[in-house]
Amino acid sequence: MQQVLHYFTQYKVNYKNEILSGLTVALALIPEAVAFSIIAGVPPLVGLYAAFVMGLVTAVLGGRPGMISGATGAVAVVLVALAKTHGVEYIFATVMLAGAMQILAGVLRLGKFIRLVPQSVMFGFVNGLAIIIFLSQLVQFQAIGADGVLHWLTGPALYTMVGLVSLTIAIIVGLPRLTKVVPASLTAILVVSALVIGLGINTKTVGDIASIQGGFPPFHIPAVPFTFATLGLIFPYAAIVAGVGLIESLLTLNLIDEITETRGRGNKECVAQGAANMLSGLFSGMGGCAMIGQSLINISSGARARLSGVVAALMLLVFIMFGASLIERMPMAALTGLMIMVSVGTFEWASLKTFGKMPVSDLVVMLTVTIVTVVLHNLALAVLIGVIIAALVFAWENARRIRARKHLDEAGVKHYEIFGPLFFGSVQAFGEKFDVADDPTEVIIDFAESRVADMSAIEALNKLTERYHRLGKTVHLRHLSPDCRHLLRRADSLIDVNILEDPIYHVSGADLRY
């Protein structure tokens, strides 16, 4: 028992903040889960069950206390095609397979690769997400007309909606200036809900979207044929769900790390996400990943420990099983105002100050990621595109940095001092630095300020030494770092690298400068 208590109290816990934050998150999870279920083409309870299972498992086992997981739009978009063609049972099987992949990623410690995401991509990702959250709230200002088409609200319906949303925002902004005893977000939801229910105001409610009445998530082994044909069908979907889920979860983890000035454990989060998805599939859920919006609500309400996530998941289940009739009367205006404030808080306003200060390439990456995120609503693809562009820019910039300083010593030996990394992007420029035909019979290539980075660099050295060898000239490779020598020795059985290391020079890795 003491170990259990220590697990939940390893971070300083403010129980009031944790419980109230969890309650606020639970209320905010309901419309999101229902909306994502509709996007995926599955019953609303499938999304709600996923939010409960994902939220509970990751709160207990995850690598980032305070982070909230549940059914997400990114996963829903991936699964919608499979749901239409094969039904919900294949969705359960897919998320279970995706969960197994995520556990494997955590065991193999692949979470560290999130470090490869540059800051410009993070800015674009966060800004794009903030815009998506804001735009997604505009549908609450629309209603289906007699022709079956969505139309913008007009007249009293519009004024009521705008007024209630404005009141929600005013409470969230103004209450913290008066008191921080209770979370402003929860207070805003309760006050606006009390006004709507008490005064009988006619406005859109949670119940207008779908009923959330249900029981405890039923244990259910997916009713699909356990054959290689089924595996071949669901594997591509599962791989995408696993990748999207991990990317969003690890990016959310990094974002919460920055806000709280603490450090989460990426690989542990991968395992927790995988376990949550596997259990979600077994308990009739559509799976999911970390939710940035709800995580920011939780953190901004003062939560810092695991308790808030546990409370949010359990309260969501309570609402489903016992409080559906009351929750369905909650006005969407309150949740709309809350999510608008989340979008404002999510947007990285400091990124606007970088225009004219950051390199043009970083600005291009940031804007590209933002635009792709908003247009395609695919956060993982946007991040992948941003990382690729940033990597290509980095490779191009380093390829241009290869230089060679040349001189003849008193013995008539030609020296080439190489500056900059030798890799696939710089090998062409590297080869152009040498005057093989007119060089003396002995040449020294000094790598004190360079390094051999990949197979393309090894092949470039091989071709260069062969050119000198054909003319009866000798080449010495000097000041190679230990890792470069190891790379060349490993490649010796594959290609003929003509290295004549100068025995006078023995440079340790600590003496090298890159």
> Rg of the chain's alpha carbons, rounded to an integer?
29
How many C-beta atoms lie closer than 10 Å to residue 8's C-beta?
16
* Angle of CA points 328, 332, 337, to nearest 5°: 145
pLDDT in tens, 388-410: 999 898 888 888 888 999 999 88
Averaged pLDDT for residues 86-102 = 96
Q: Given a cut of 90, is residue 276 above it in pLDDT?
A: yes
* Residue from 416, 319, 321, 294 nearest 21 by CA: 294
Please tell me the least confidently modeled range out of 39-43, 152-156, 493-497. 493-497
* 499/472: higher pLDDT: 472
Which H, E and C letters describe 328-381, residue by residue? CCCEHHHHHHHHHHHHHHHCCHHHHHHCCCCCHHHHHHHHHHHHHHHHHCCHHH
- 118-152 burial: b if 16+ Cβ within 10 Å, else e: bebbbbbbbbbbbbbbbebbeebbebeeeeeeeee
pLDDT in tens, 59-85: 999 999 999 999 987 788 788 889 989
Residue pair 17/183 in contact by the 8 Å Cβ criterion? yes
- Give the pLDDT band (50/70/90) at residue 36: confident
- Give the pLDDT band (50/70/90) at residue 313: very high
pLDDT of residue 410: 87
* 31/18: higher pLDDT: 18
- Give the pLDDT band (50/70/90) at residue 128: confident
Query: Which secondary structure element, helix H or strand E, spans residue 447, and what is its range?
Result: strand 442-449
pLDDT of residue 295: 92
Q: Given a cut of 80, is residue 501 above it in pLDDT?
A: no
Residue 66, φ and ψ in degrees, nearest 5: 95, -15
Mean pLDDT of the chain: 86
What pairing do the DSSP bridges indicate for beta strands 289-290 and 403-408?
unpaired
* Residue from 123, 33, 130 nearest 75 by CA: 33
Domain with CATH 3.30.750.24 in the chain: 400-511
Q: Give dist(CA 88, CA 66) in Å, integer.
A: 31
Pure H helices in 377-419: 379-399
How many C-beta atoms lie closer than 10 Å to residue 471's C-beta?
10
* 251/505: higher pLDDT: 251
Query: Residue 70's beta-bridge partner residues?
Result: 289
How many C-beta atoms lie closer than 10 Å to residue 180's C-beta?
12
Q: Give dist(CA 43, CA 45) in Å, integer.
A: 6
Q: Kindly give, in sequence order, each residue whose CB lies less than 8 Å from that of residue 94, ignoring residues fewer than 6 positions away.
A: 79, 82, 234, 237, 238, 241, 281, 287
Q: Given a cut of 70, is residue 288 above it in pLDDT?
A: yes
pLDDT of residue 490: 67
Q: Given a cut of 50, is residue 442 above it in pLDDT?
A: yes
Please tell me the least confidently modeled range out of 31-45, 219-233, 273-287, 324-338. 31-45
For the chain, give the percent of residues with pLDDT over 70. Answer: 92
Tokens of 425: 């992007």
pLDDT of residue 493: 55
* Angle of CA points 294, 296, 299, to nearest 5°: 110
pLDDT of residue 417: 92
Averaged pLDDT for residues 258-279 = 93
Q: Give dist(CA 14, CA 169) in Å, integer.
A: 25
Q: Given a cut of 70, is residue 254 above it in pLDDT?
A: yes
Averaged pLDDT for residues 161-184 = 89
* Residue from 399, 397, 385, 436 nearest 414 by CA: 436
pTM of the model: 0.74
Q: Given a cut of 50, is residue 514 above it in pLDDT?
A: no
CATH of span 400-511: 3.30.750.24
Please tell me the least confidently modeled range out of 247-251, 289-293, 295-299, 380-384. 380-384
Averaged pLDDT for residues 443-464 = 87
Q: Given a cut of 80, is residue 380 above it in pLDDT?
A: no
- Give the pLDDT band (50/70/90) at residue 107: very high
Q: Kindly give, in sequence order, each residue whose CB lies less than 8 Å from that of residue 110, ignoring residues fewer than 6 positions away.
A: 267, 270
Q: Given a cut of 60, is residue 499 above it in pLDDT?
A: no
pLDDT of residue 348: 81
* 124/491: higher pLDDT: 124
